[in-house]
Structure 1
Amino acid sequence: MTPETLRQKLGEALKLQRVGKLDESDALIRDVIQFQPDHAGAHHLMGVSHMIRGDYDAAEASMNKALDVNPRMADAVNNLGIVRQLQGRADKAIECFRRALELYPELSASHSNVIFSLDHEPGVSDASAFAERRLWNERFARKHHLAAPPCLNDRDPERVLRVGYVSGDYRNHSAAHTFMPVLFNHDPRAVELWCYSTVTRTDNVTDAFRKRAKVFRDVAAATPEQLAEQVRVDRIDVLVDLSGHSEANRLPTFARRPAPVTVSAWGFATATGVDGVDYFFADPHSLPYELHRFYAEKVVMLPVAIPYSLPSGMPAIEPLPSLAGAPFTFGCLNRLAKVTDPCLGLWARVLTAAPEARLLMKDRAFHSAQVRLRVLDSFAALGIDRERIELLGPTPRIDHVKTYHRVDLALDPIPAGGGMTMIEGLWMGVPSLSLIGQHITGRLPSSLLVTAELGEFVFKTADDYVAAAVRWTGERARLAEIRAGMRERLKRAPYLDHIVYTRRVERAYRAMWRRWCAGLSPAPFVVG
């Protein structure tokens, strides 16, 4: 094969990979590797394929092969960081992301990955997290923001608003269940729904959003400049970022200020720090007023920050397993990336104080024997027998949720807790013990519990968290009662009242729009 043939094969493999045709893509990649075993690009693409499939050991091996050939391949270094993040090795992940930035300073995604990772790291102050965001802004946004042309939208303060939502998660992803409640319930007399999708592997959830939108644009291949120009041509009044610094974000487009009003919401728990984003939705519990100074956006307060839509086909609640003779079982179904060393230490304290109890953890990362061994070794070093820890890997969605049938009480990780994972657990009757964190990522879970009248599961100190865990092992009848009545309780929770929540969001958009029409700068406000 000629060099041109190799490039064509890998180009076709990349196209197939992006739309989820992994078997066909892998066949082309293997052809290239068979012909040229030291082809860095081929090994890198194979690593990405393994990562998509959830085989993180194989992904890491392929990435390392690529870097053995070409140590300066920034994309491979960045993706190796993502693999290590998924394996729960955040410190090693951040090293990779920063190294990728050194190799290719224009790789904004690597810097976003640093920010995303720091939001899950213990010991990172709000000031440090804010400074990292502002550094991203200086590197990738400020020059475009200053050069942005004025928006020429019709300044009628009361007309129907054309609202555009930009996301890489119009698909079967937990983030979609945080913005679906709003996008599916807009009043057409107030809002015209436009969607800008950066999704490449579409599915039935993508189709559902496509059917709801007045206009649904596939913009995965668009450059930041092209997307910004499309938004201007479409005359979007309010442009909403649903990805923040997560995968497939389009913050470089927001830096170009293509719409009069811009908002970041729901799909990413924390703010962006980007000058081109005007507003950020929060609630008083998850983001106290004294922390607003660490946000470049103007904070708009809602009764709850994020709504949630439960996946269809959720199974019925089953009785408390420990009342049927099983050992009392704590559980965590969050991503392993959230389970930090301090978190393992806290849970080891729980298991030491409750010697008859067990811990069940479940995540895609536990498909890896190396990852399982590392976690078991960590618990063993903290004095916890391996036999008391059960680690489960990936399963189909409904089977994943049915895992809660085996859990008596969930343990929320620290410093960044669960969102959709906690909601699913609650719907299955399983409350979580939550330690209030310093950052919004560590306060949102306690906000979910408090607004569902489950404040007794929220704690300010690790000692109280451990004591409560032990106490609940002896109060199984009451835990069973809470479990049985959980769904009726949750029906009163404001984050599941999608209509009321959406009307509040529409009032917020209207207030933002009126300010722009009046020539006023963005300002914080409260929507009751």
Structure 2
Amino acid sequence: MAQQYNPRHTAHALRDSARHWGALWTTPQAPTTGFAPAVPGRPLRVGYLSGDFRQHPIGWLIAPVLGAHDPQVVEVHVLDTDTGRQQGDPLKAELRAVAPHWHELGGLDDAALAARARALGLDVLVELAGHTDGGRLGVLAHRAAPVQLSWLGYFASTGVAQVDGVVTGSVIGDGHAAAWYTEPLLHLGRPHIAWRPPAHAPAPAGTVASERTGRLTFGSFNTAAKLSDATLALWSQLLQARPDSRLLLRRACFGDPAFAEHTRRRFASFGVAAERIVAAPALPHDQMLAAYGEIDVALDPTPFSGLITSLEALWMGVPVTTLTSLRPVARQTEMLLHALGRDEWGATTPQAWLHRTLQLADDTAARRTWLQTCRAEMRASPLLDGADLARRLEALYLQLRTEPR
């Protein structure tokens, strides 16, 4: 996962690394055959495996699908590997209410969890975390279901031989995306995600930030791990081109004065005065969302672009500009902008990105229009259409389970 933050890694290097790490999960004793064929007329049994069915990117991205699945087509099973830390989470309670079969499996090792999944007679098992914290790729290495997929929570190849495909979609799965994966890509013909905006999100600010402050503010609430030297060099060019602007960074790590100062020194090495970098700590989530009202244009890092952060910025009425590349994880924000018909906020070269970001910074009317229309436009887009995503996933599951293997 950490290699995804490094712009120097090529498709070949990342694919070979995934294959190397995936091979470490190999379990020679895992069954490869012996699963019963799909039963005609019976809904497919589909299991979603994660420890993050809560107020978390996984929770916000699975919620629109979990409640939209057609029970005549799929019988949904949630395999929850949380070990009890999420008691009282409101989104978890909502997800439990719509999932017909919820299995609390925290504490089981990979072999035991795979055995439980096989006992459920799952037709399809979808792992939602990959190589991120809490991922359970080892369960898939034990071949817990006849069809095993990676989707939603990971953004690259797992390298695990027992993963039968990575579910992807428009933009991220287009073009030469297959070069970055060891697994087959399963293209949905639309964005591979649908999002549930947080219920506690406040309304967008009433006016664009520069009209209230008299100063142009660029910003990013992405994790500091994404602030690569390439990102800082790019953003520094922007700040130098607009000497009247500042950059607002907000994340928990900036609550550490030493780290905040370290970040300002990094920008200084690219010629940006320290006082123009506002490194602020995180806030409670509702306040964090409201803080987007301080930003005129949100900046997307490279090569690891934002997903939830970009969705939240757009939902709060702040346009996002992105520098994209061929790496799938670099195209997450591009996927969102394309779905919204806002391709002009993306670019494929640093020069074009700088031009488009400066153009947007100067176009107060365009930013004001987005502030006023953002939520209607997002609701009308595929990005919030969980029902359509559920139908396409169901068609994919049926195809994979019934085709000869």
Provide the C-alpha distance between the structure 2 equivalents of 1:402 and 1:210, rounded to a whole number of angstroms: 29
Supply the AA of the counterpart residue of 1:260: P
Match in the other structure for 2:122: 236
1:211/1:491 Cα in 2 relative to 1: closer, same or farther (>3 Å)? closer
Q: Does 1:481 find its partner at 2:366? A: no
Supply the AA of the counterpart residue of 2:28: K
Q: Does 1:260 find its partner at 2:146? A: yes
**1:391-430 map, 5 Å:** 391-430=279-318
Match in the other structure for 2:72: 189
Match in the other structure for 1:306: 193
Provide the C-alpha distance between the structure 1 equivalents of 2:41 and 2:176, rounded to a whole number of angstroms: 33
Match in the other structure for 1:79: none
Match in the other structure for 2:269: 381
Match in the other structure for 2:110: 224
Match of 1:208 among 71, 81, 94: 94
Whether the 8 Å CA contact 2:216–2:246 is kept in 1: the answer is yes
Q: Does 1:317 find its partner at 2:200? A: no
What TM-score results when the alignment is normalised by the length of structure 2? Answer: 0.95
Match in the other structure for 1:291: 177
| Higher CA-based Rg | 1
**1:404-456: CA deviations, max 9, x gaps?**
11111100001011101111111111111101123111012101101101111
Whether the 8 Å CA contact 2:300–2:323 is kept in 1: the answer is yes
Match of 1:172 among 26, 35, 55: 55
Larger relative contact order (Cα-Cα within 8 Å, sequence gap ≥ 6): 2
Whether the 8 Å CA contact 1:157–1:513 is kept in 2: the answer is no
Whether the 8 Å CA contact 1:176–1:267 is kept in 2: the answer is no
Match of 2:81 among 198, 203, 216: 198
**1:96-130: CA deviations, max 9, x gaps?**
xxxxxxxxxxxxxxxxxxxx101111111111111
Whether the 8 Å CA contact 2:264–2:274 is kept in 1: the answer is yes
Q: Does 1:509 find its partner at 2:397? A: yes
Whether the 8 Å CA contact 1:263–1:279 is kept in 2: the answer is yes
> 1:157 deviation in Å?
4.2
SS in structure 1 at match of 2:45: strand
Provide the C-alpha distance between the structure 2 equivalents of 1:379 and 1:153, rounded to a whole number of angstroms: 59
1:250/1:122 Cα in 2 relative to 1: closer, same or farther (>3 Å)? same
Whether the 8 Å CA contact 1:168–1:247 is kept in 2: the answer is no
Match of 1:143 among 22, 25, 28: 28
More off after superposition, 252-261 vs 290-299: 290-299
Supply the AA of the counterpart residue of 1:133: A
Whether the 8 Å CA contact 2:38–2:123 is kept in 1: the answer is no
More off after superposition, 345-354 vs 319-328: 319-328
Provide the C-alpha distance between the structure 1 equivalents of 2:41 and 2:278, rounded to a whole number of angstroms: 57
Provide the C-alpha distance between the structure 2 equivalents of 1:183 and 1:366, rounded to a whole number of angstroms: 35
Match in the other structure for 1:129: 14
SS in structure 2 at match of 1:276: coil
1:452/1:151 Cα in 2 relative to 1: closer, same or farther (>3 Å)? farther
Whether the 8 Å CA contact 2:23–2:161 is kept in 1: the answer is no
SS in structure 1 at match of 2:176: helix
Whether the 8 Å CA contact 1:171–1:199 is kept in 2: the answer is no
**1:326-354: CA deviations, max 9, x gaps?**
31111101111111111011111100001
Q: CA RMSD in A?
A: 1.5
Q: Does 1:442 find its partner at 2:321? A: no
Whether the 8 Å CA contact 1:495–1:501 is kept in 2: the answer is no
Q: Does 1:358 find its partner at 2:246? A: yes
Supply the AA of the counterpart residue of 1:363: R
Provide the C-alpha distance between the structure 1 equivalents of 2:183 and 2:27, rounded to a whole number of angstroms: 14
1:152/1:286 Cα in 2 relative to 1: closer, same or farther (>3 Å)? closer
**1:275-326: CA deviations, max 9, x gaps?**
1111211124112342314323221112112221111022112210112343
Provide the C-alpha distance between the structure 1 equivalents of 2:397 and 2:319, rounded to a whole number of angstroms: 34
Provide the C-alpha distance between the structure 1 equivalents of 2:179 and 2:272, rounded to a whole number of angstroms: 42
**1:107-126 map, 5 Å:** 116-126=1-11
% of aligned pairs identical? 29
Match in the other structure for 1:343: 231
Whether the 8 Å CA contact 2:53–2:92 is kept in 1: the answer is yes
> 1:198 deviation in Å?
1.7
What TM-score results when the alignment is normalised by the length of structure 1? Answer: 0.73
Aligned length: 400
SS in structure 1 at match of 2:28: helix
Supply the AA of the counterpart residue of 1:171: R
Provide the C-alpha distance between the structure 2 equivalents of 1:274 and 1:289, rounded to a whole number of angstroms: 23
Whether the 8 Å CA contact 1:151–1:232 is kept in 2: the answer is no
SS in structure 2 at match of 1:361: strand
1:149/1:473 Cα in 2 relative to 1: closer, same or farther (>3 Å)? closer
> 1:236 deviation in Å?
0.9
Provide the C-alpha distance between the structure 2 equivalents of 1:314 and 1:487, rounded to a whole number of angstroms: 12
SS in structure 1 at match of 2:203: coil
Match of 1:280 among 159, 166, 179: 166
Runs of 4+ in 1 over 3 A off after TM superposition: none
Whether the 8 Å CA contact 1:261–1:513 is kept in 2: the answer is yes
Whether the 8 Å CA contact 2:193–2:389 is kept in 1: the answer is no
SS in structure 2 at match of 1:297: coil
Match in the other structure for 1:467: 355
* Structure 1 gap segments, 5+ residues each: 1-115, 522-528
1:149/1:476 Cα in 2 relative to 1: closer, same or farther (>3 Å)? closer
